[in-house]
Chains A and B, each alone.
Chain A
Amino acid sequence: MNALADAVPKFDIPTIEYAALAPILIVLGAAVVSVLVEALLPQRYRRSTQLVIVFAALVGAFVAVVAARGTQQIVAMGSVAIDGPTLFMQGSILVLAAIAALVMAERKVDPAGDSFAPRASALPGSEDEQVFTRLGWLQTEVWPLFLFCVGGMLLFPASTDLLTMFVALEVLSLPLYVMVGLARRRRLLSQEASLKYFVLGAFSSAFFLYGTALLYGYAGTVSLSGIADALTNSAGDTGLVLAGVGLLAVGLLFKIGAAPFHQWTPDVYQGAPTSITGFMAACTKVAAFGALFRVLYVALGGIRWDWRPMMYVIAALTMIVGTLFALTQTDIKRMLAYSSIAQAGFMLVGVVALSSQGLQGTLVYLVAYGIATVGAFAIVTLVRDSTGEATHLSQWAGLGKRSPVVAAAFALFLLAFAGIPLTSGFTGKFAVFTAGIQGGATPIVVIGVVASAVAAFFYVRVIVLMFFNEPQAEGGPSVVIPSAFTTLAITVAVALTVVIGVLPQLVFTLVSQAGTFVR
């Protein structure tokens, strides 16, 4: 008997730290339940059930994040790190996702029902589609996709080996590709955005995977700390490392939307349903920056002098490209897309600072930016004419005269993007730029300050347009009064933007408690 037992190779039962992993597990579990709901429940119960599941999962996961505070350990057999920065980012993602979910749940602004296609697989403009639209079909399939996506986002910044990170990247990306294609209006634009995002996303994933392979070839492991150790012992061929780092960086910078890997951003942001745009613009950025920080600081800290100049170039390029192109935009969603590129550049300043101040500054910036972004896109969903959302800038003229409250909220978000004092954006910019100068990246900070001065111009231009210009004479868009969902989302976003601006202490205390990455 014993001989038989000895003959079978020993199998270590993997240990899973359920408490530390609870946020991820709750959301992914809810996603599975959500799929079952889609499959099993009759149509009329689905929406309410899905909403209960989604918000229960988000709240539950947030509670789990709070409960896990202070954790500083590597769990799940060395593939997930639950540490201060991870928990801060997970908490931010959950809050931002909850605000975005409120906007997605809106069913009052579009007279046809909601902002998602009655059947995404129908050919745009086809007879099928017209039939579904006429029948007033409403789908809830966006919710399981949303939950899977959030689950991936929670895992992405927590992964401590490159394969887990890749899996998380795909888990968050694949649902996003589909969600981008779900817009009810302008179907073709939406589907094309989806396809484009998919093709380019797959392309960038390939870069990421190839980079992983090269780093494995160098270090003999895919774990971040293993790679760091190999670099310290400087074993193997450095050519492999450099190539691996470059390819890995391309994959991550693509998700961030940094130049020159940014071109998908305006097309996708414009084509996606606006509520989804707000969600992905805010949450994807948090998750991707988390992963970028972890890879660069934990695994590649030993060769920081090699990748730092490269990140200098990327950061400068991103700020310049984002700002300059935003100047010429006439579509509000495209303008916000280019603005988000510029903002990514400002955040990269925190990355090149190479310090815990840089990390903390970027975390603050991400939260400030994310909240304003979700809020701004939520307002874009409200300005509509008979064909749907009115996104051409000329249609926004004089909005402040007809809907002063909505226009004032939008103006607040724009001022936050511009980094005007007493808004959250100023807090974030100041933290990042100061960290940059302390880290010796003064030239980049100068570019950043100049770029943000230029950027203020196009933000303020929209404010001027809304408040000082005469509205279009006939057939101009109007602001739809939304249901409690969107109202709540915008209110929360406005309140947080002001609070973080006036009392930045609160969020600074949180990030300083977040501490540093665990290895």
Chain B
Amino acid sequence: MSPFSGAVTHAAEAAPAVTAATGTFQLIWLLIALPLVGAAILLLAGRRTDKWGHWLGLLASTASFVVAVLLFVAMLGQSDDQRTQVQHLFNWIAVGTFDVPVDLRLDQLSMTFVLLITGVGSLIHLYSVGYMSHDRDRRRFFGYLNLFVASMLLLVLADNYLLLYVGWEGVGLASYLLIGFWFFKDSAAVASKKAFVVNRVGDVGLSLAIMLMFVTFGSVSFEGVLGSASKGSQQSMTWIGLALLLAACGKSAQFPLQSWLLDAMEGPTPVSALIHAATMVTAGVYLIVRSGAIFDASLPARNAVIVVGAITLLMGAIIGCAKDDIKKALAGSTMSQIGYMILAAGLGPVGYAFAIFHLLLHGFFKADMFLGAGSVMHGMNDGVNMRRYGALRTVMKVTWITFMMGWLAILGIPPFSGFYSKDKIIEAAWSVSPVAGLVTLVGAGITAFYMTRLFAMTFHGEARWTDDVHPHESPWIMMFPIAILALLSAVAGFILNLNNAFVDWLKPVTGLEEPQLPFSSAVLPIAAIILVLIGAVLAWIPYATRAVPEVAPAGNLLTRAARADLYGDAANEAVFMRPGQYLTRWLVWFDNRVVDGVVNGTAATIGGLSGRARRLQTGFARSYALSMLGGAALVAAALVLVRL
């Protein structure tokens, strides 16, 4: 038996019928249109809308949520196999066999996302009204947020990969704009640039995948591709799967494209909560689950997904253990939790539904904790160093309680939310491969350690505040969304797991298999809880009961490595940046000396002195001619070599 012995099965073979949207379902397009119009008004109308712009942004997002709820109710009214609704808007491209309509697909999977995006999105809009109240560019901020919501909805509602790609680029753009929102800070500008570059690498994967799909299946629609995926050759499925995985790695900050997420915390905290925790970074999970049929047809691609998920899961957790910056610790945790989801998505039908379940619940508790962190920062003069926090439970009672809900949820303590999804992932992983199962178990223990460390350093122990800080509770407009999210973190998992309600709801789209375990199904939850308790106690003792040094101790090798993001940047630097820098330096030199060029400095343009331009530009025509001759030789050689 191979280490990943899960048999390749096609659980979702009986694809649900697709219904053309009628009645209430004709409102699907409104979901996207509302925030899009909001963004257009806010970004185009300029300063005139400064006074009320944020309310308009909130209204657009909330209206979209109301539509989502209406659609959800309508969908519940349909029988299980009638729930896939497709709304045809117009033909985008139709040339011969290449036919790309703008169709929106609302099924159980996209419905889940739509509710998460608009629901959590609206709460975060509300929170931002308070959080950004002192920022003079608040209107622009809401414009970007609306743009993000619209793009993300397009991403999950698209009925073909090309349209999905449009949304994919859209969320990337919004994320880039929001990370760099405070672009006057160098670190924010650099972080946004990094996010852009890394995401482009992922986008290459998606565009290659789409083109391969078109060539293999002659279609880029979900139905055309996924319906015939089981008939394609395994090799082409593997290539498409790996290209999709590359795309997912970029967007979801998975190894080896993980490095941008930690830096992305330079963006305002509501952005970190919405985009870099709850929604956008989970787009990779969506992509893989949606493309499940392709991964079902290729075991190597599926195993690659598992490996990537497992590595990131551990990396993120280890990084989270060593960070003193509260947002970066949370970002490490996000990486790690998405690693869980990716791993689950790689398990196949046994894991798809739980990947999405965990994604949803993670959306709640991580957004809760990020907003909580924002509330703490709000009270601490925007300080993020947890070594200067401590004992905040005394002054920020509501933040403390709500954060505690998130903390218990991510730890997976029953009956808090995380328990129900994470436990199932561990079970499913174990049923496919003991190695993957062990990784998820150990990950749970480490998660308990770093989250407890974060929680204890922030809210317990002694106050280590700097002198000029006077912590205080945040205004209701910020606390209200947190409270809702805290409530969801506490009970959503339990409620949605009643009678397997959520998993059954998703089953028609994702398929479902019961994990087969070699031992009693009670073993794993108990083992997980024991590991979690050990991890939590190990963190609680030093960080809550003993004095925490205000300057980080040197730490051992692993700690130092984790503080440096496990040398992710160093690796990037050595592999990509240095050679790139040498290359550009050489190119500049080449361009100056060999080619030509009024490139350097201000010479030609500001001076505008023809004399100088002349000195730089004389006598090179012959070298151009020479290289043309060389080119001609190259052409001739290429032609002759083929004949040989």
Chain A positions near chain B (C-beta within 8 angstroms): 124-125, 185-189, 192, 195-196, 199-200, 203-204, 207, 238, 242-243, 245-247, 249-250, 253-254, 259-261, 263-264, 266-267, 270, 305-307, 309-310, 313-314, 324-325, 327-331, 334, 360, 387-388, 390-392, 394-395, 404, 420-422, 427, 430, 433-434, 437-438, 445-446, 449-450, 453-454, 456-457, 460, 464, 468, 503-505, 508-509, 512
Contacts and interface: CB of A to CB of B under 8 A. Distances in A.
A468 B635 contact: no
B92 A266 contact: no
A189 B196 contact: no
Contacts of A243: 636
Contacts of A249: 635
B478 to A, nearest CB: 28
A239 to B, nearest CB: 9
A192 B614 contact: yes
B624 A328 contact: no
Given A246-B635, A263-B628, 15 more contacts: A186-B608, A188-B610, A199-B621, A203-B628, A250-B635, A260-B628, A270-B598, A306-B639, A421-B169, A456-B200, A457-B197, A505-B91, A505-B93, A505-B94, A508-B94
B39 to A, nearest CB: 14
24 contacts: A124-B610, A186-B604, A189-B604, A196-B624, A207-B632, A246-B635, A247-B632, A253-B631, A260-B634, A305-B642, A313-B634, A328-B584, A328-B599, A329-B591, A329-B599, A421-B169, A422-B166, A434-B214, A449-B204, A457-B196, A464-B193, A503-B92, A504-B92, A508-B94
Nearest to B585: A328
Given A246-B639, A309-B642, A505-B91, A328 B591 contact: yes
A437 B621 CA distance: 38
Contacts of B136: none
Contact of A254 (B584, B610, B620, B628): B628
Given A200-B628, A203-B625, A309 B638 contact: yes
Contacts of B598: 189, 270, 331, 334
Interface stretch (B205-213, B267-275, B479-487): B205-213
Nearest to B640: A242
Contacts of A503: 92
Interface in B95-109: 95-96, 98
A324 B587 contact: yes
B203 A453 contact: yes
Which of B93, B166, B621 is packed against the most chain A CB atoms within 10 Å? B621
Contacts of A305: 642
A263 B207 contact: no
Interface of chain B, main secondary structure: helix
A434 B599 contact: no
Contacts, number: 183
Given A260-B628, A328-B599, A421 B591 contact: no
B597 A266 contact: yes
Contacts of A324: 583, 587
B325 interface: no
A253 B628 CA distance: 10
Interface in B590-644: 591, 595-600, 602, 604-606, 608, 610-611, 613-614, 617-618, 620-621, 624-625, 627-628, 630-632, 634-636, 638-643
A330 B643 contact: no
A264 B92 CA distance: 39
B588 interface: yes
A450 B208 CA distance: 10
B55 interface: no
Given A246-B635, A391-B605, A392-B605, A200 B625 contact: yes
B628 A437 contact: no
Contacts of B643: 238, 242, 306
A270 B608 CA distance: 13
Contacts of B214: 434, 437
Which of B46, B618, B620 is packed against the most chain A CB atoms within 10 Å? B620
B200 A186 contact: no
Given A270-B598, A508-B93, A508-B95, A437 B624 contact: no
Interface of chain A, main secondary structure: helix
A249 B631 CA distance: 11
Contacts of A453: 200-201, 203-204
B629 to A, nearest CB: 9
Contacts of A253: 631
A204 B636 CA distance: 15
B575 interface: no
Contacts of A430: 162, 211
Contacts of B602: 392, 394
B627 A260 contact: yes
Interface string B183-218: 100000100010011001101100110011011000
Contacts of A246: 632, 635-636, 639
A260 B595 CA distance: 12
Contacts of B180: 464, 468
B618 to A, nearest CB: 8
A388 B608 contact: yes
A427 B98 CA distance: 13
Interface string B433-475: 0000000000000000000000000000000000000000000
Contacts of A254: 628
A328 B93 contact: no
Nearest to A504: B93
A278 B640 CA distance: 37
Interface in B156-179: 162, 165-166, 169
Contact of B605 (A310, A395, A509): A395
Contact of B165 (A261, A421, A508): A421
A245 B604 contact: no
B211 A445 contact: yes
A204 B635 CA distance: 14
B614 A334 contact: no
Contacts of A188: 610-611, 613-614
Contacts of B595: 263, 266, 325
A395 B93 CA distance: 40
Contact of A457 (B165, B200, B587): B200
B208 A449 contact: yes
Contacts of B211: 430, 433-434, 437, 445, 449
A126 to B, nearest CB: 11
A387 B212 CA distance: 51
Which of A259, A260, A387 is packed against the most chain B CB atoms within 10 Å? A260
Nearest to A197: B621
A434 B638 contact: no
Given A395-B605, A438-B215, A310 B639 contact: yes
Query: Which 7 residue pairs spanning A and B have beta carbons closest together?
Result: A260-B631, A310-B638, A188-B610, A392-B605, A387-B608, A421-B166, A263-B624
A186 B635 contact: no
B628 A242 contact: no
B642 A310 contact: yes
Contacts of B618: 192
A166 B425 CA distance: 70
A199 B598 CA distance: 21
A345 to B, nearest CB: 14
Which of B208, B606, B638, B641 is packed against the most chain A CB atoms within 10 Å? B638
A264 B602 CA distance: 22
Contact of B628 (A125, A261, A505): A261
A444 to B, nearest CB: 12
Contacts of A250: 628, 631-632, 635
A427 B94 CA distance: 12
Given A392-B605, A437-B215, A242 B617 contact: no
Contact of A512 (B96, B162, B617, B621): B96
A304 to B, nearest CB: 11
A200 B584 contact: no
Contact of A334 (B587, B597, B636, B639): B597
Contacts of A457: 196-197, 200
A355 B638 CA distance: 22
